[in-house]
Structure 1
Amino acid sequence: MFIKIKKNQGIYMQHNGVDKRHIVPVTSNFLINLDQVAEASFYTLKETKKQIDLEGHTLELPMHTAVVHLQMSYLYALYTEDKNGRKGRMAERQYYKLFFRPENVEPYQELRSVIESQVANL
């Protein structure tokens, strides 16, 4: 199953392709294959967090911003030969963090319910 993240919905994203200090607004539609997600977590920020957009401007994520963190399977890992001075291959799994500001909770709730519909609670 795929989930479609739509542009211009007030959603911000962070992923392995950008520095961890940076956050980008979702400006084009994209799909994520839920069959390739190894872990999913949902949480809200407990304090205001400052990030930087790609143009260097400070962007503030307020307290209670909802976050969906999708950790992809090892099929979508980046393999490096030498990481932090260690020899050998190291797998860094790809991830997507989607940020939903408190005033934009509807898309978060919709996405969370779709993901949770694929979960068996025992």
Structure 2
Amino acid sequence: MFIKIKKNCGIYMEHNGLEKQHLVPVTSNFLINLDQVAEISFYTIKEKKKRYDLEGHEFDVQPHTRVIHLQMSYTYAMTKESINGTKGRLIERSYYKLYFMPEEMGQYAELRQKIEDRVLNL
């Protein structure tokens, strides 16, 4: 099953292809295949956090912002052969964090419900 993230709907995204602490607004529609997601977590930001846009301008992520963190399976991982100059192997899985600002709770609730519908609770 795919989930569709719609452009220009107030969702911001972070992923490990970006520099640390950078968020980008979703400016085009894209799909995420839930069959390739290994872990999903839902949480709420409790205090104001500083983040940056692509131009390096600082902005605040407000408290009560909801986040859906999608950790992809190992099929979508990068391998690093050197870690801080030391030989070794580090497998870094891809992830996507979707930030739903407090005024966008309808989008968050809809997406979370679609994901929850695919969960078997024991």
TM range (shorter): over 0.9
Provide TM-score, normalisation by structure 2.
Answer: 0.97
Q: Secondary structure at the match of 2:51?
A: strand
Letter in 2 for 1:75: T
| Deviating 4+ runs (over 4 angstroms) | none
State the distance in 2 between where 1:35 and 1:85 align: 35
Q: How big is each residue's C-alpha offset from its partner over 1:31-55, in whole Å with a ceiling of 9 and x where there is no partner?
A: 1000000000000001011100001
Partner of residue 32, structure 1: 32
Q: Secondary structure at the match of 1:119?
A: coil
Please report how far the alpha carbon of residue 60 of structure 1 lies from its aligned counterpart in structure 2 after TM superposition. 1.0
Partner of residue 119, structure 2: 119
State the distance in 2 between where 1:20 and 1:30 align: 22
Letter in 2 for 1:96: Y
Q: How big is each residue's C-alpha offset from its partner over 1:76-116, in whole Å with a ceiling of 9 and x where there is no partner?
A: 00111112233232210000000000111011111101111
State the distance in 1 between where 2:25 and 2:88 align: 35
Partner of residue 4, structure 1: 4
State percent identity of aligned pairs: 66
Letter in 1 for 2:17: G
Count of residues in correspondence between the two structures: 122
Structure 2: runs of 5 or more not aligned:
none
Partner of residue 13, structure 1: 13
Please report how far the alpha carbon of residue 75 of structure 1 lies from its aligned counterpart in structure 2 after TM superposition. 0.2
State the distance in 2 between where 1:70 and 1:24 align: 16
Q: How big is each residue's C-alpha offset from its partner over 1:6-37, in whole Å with a ceiling of 9 and x where there is no partner?
A: 10000000001001211100001111000000
| Residue 108 of structure 1 pairs with residue 76 of structure 2 | no
| Residue 41 of structure 1 pairs with residue 41 of structure 2 | yes
Provide TM-score, normalisation by structure 1.
Answer: 0.97
State the distance in 1 between where 2:106 and 2:84 align: 41
RMSD (Å), alpha carbons:
0.8
State the distance in 2 between where 1:72 and 1:83 align: 21
